[in-house]
Amino acid sequence: MRMLKKFVLAFTLLITTFVCAIVIGAADTTIKDVWLAITAPETNKIATMIHEVRLPREVAAVVVGAALAVAGAIMQGMTRNPLADPGLIGLTAGANAALAIVFAFFPSTNYIQTVLACFAGAAFGGLLVFSAGGKQFSPFRIVLAGAAISTFLYAVAEGIGLLYKVSKDVSMWTAGGMMGTTWHELKIVTPFICLAMLIAFWQSRQLTILSMSEEVAVGLGQQLTRVKAILFFVVIVLAGASVALVGNLAFVGLMIPHLVRSFVGTDYRFILPMSAIGGATFMLFADTIARMIHAPYETPVVAVVAVMGLPFFLFIVRKGEKGL
């Protein structure tokens, strides 16, 4: 019952933040305008603006925030590494490099194919990082390897962009913001993210066992290779889809699972769904700040997230957690 109350409170906070994010903006709007935008988007210009600009943008914030937070929680549980995050260990950098390759060599690629390319790039980046450390992969070594591989992949993307004159296209796509998100993009990406999260919730009990230690997991009869393959696939889909939708965002997958554990404990049956709610709420909050901090001009949401995330990252490093 206590856990149910926590979920109800978290979900209420998410709904409240979502409504505030829709209402607050450079253009003055009201709850009535939001209702008209949902029920009759062509009633007036304000309703049309909300329906075509703000609503898809904030839905993207919810989807991406949830995806990155769940991906981060899974990675931290799989590797028992408190510093694991899709943006810090090569996944988003790999997806970014894949985007550059697609723009340079396959300019006629449609959006679905671009999303699939991001999945492949995320998988490649993650495999490079994990293979760089061999079997013994300490938390700090994985971050160092992730930083090195990410820098290399970003350099590859930038080099391809400069050589083939697509740097502007790549930068506009991967700037790390929800501005310009359309319903068409959401209809393509959201099913991938929802399916991946359902698989993650299905494997949450196995992830809890795996987060203890591999020895315990084997002792309890867990098929390590199968479970890790499923979870790694889920992380690739979540990270790749997020980059395809809004670009590169680090620290979300690092911060939210840590904060969530302080409320729900170490059972991933509760950590994953609460991380989804927490990540969505955080991204709505960050995007609202990015829109309003210098209205009517926008501050890149990636900068807002970095300002919040970097001190948290340094805190975790100094704390030197040994496990989850």
78-88: pLDDT as tens digits: 888 887 888 77
Listed range (98-102, 122-126, 140-144, 254-258) with the worst mean pLDDT: 140-144
pTM, to two decimals: 0.91
Average of pLDDT values for 52-62?
A: 92
Average pLDDT over every residue of 232-255: 88
pLDDT per residue as tens digits for the range 103-139: 999 988 888 998 899 999 999 998 888 787 555 556 6
Q: Average pLDDT over the chain, rounded to whole?
A: 86
Residue 323 binned pLDDT confidence (cut-offs 50, 70, 90) = very low
pLDDT band of residue 292 (cuts 50, 70, 90) is: confident
- Contacts of residue 291, Cβ cutoff 8 Å, sequence gap at least 6: 24, 25, 26, 298, 299
pLDDT in tens, 145-200: 888 888 899 899 989 988 988 888 887 777 657 877 889 999 999 999 999 999 99
Q: What is the pLDDT of residue 136?
A: 54
- CA-based end-to-end distance of the chain: 25
- Averaged pLDDT for residues 251-261: 93
pLDDT tens by residue, 148-163 = 888 899 899 989 988 9
Q: What pLDDT shows up at residue 324?
A: 44
Per-residue pLDDT band for 322 (boundaries 50, 70, 90) equals very low
Question: What is the pLDDT averaged over residues 238-266?
Answer: 89
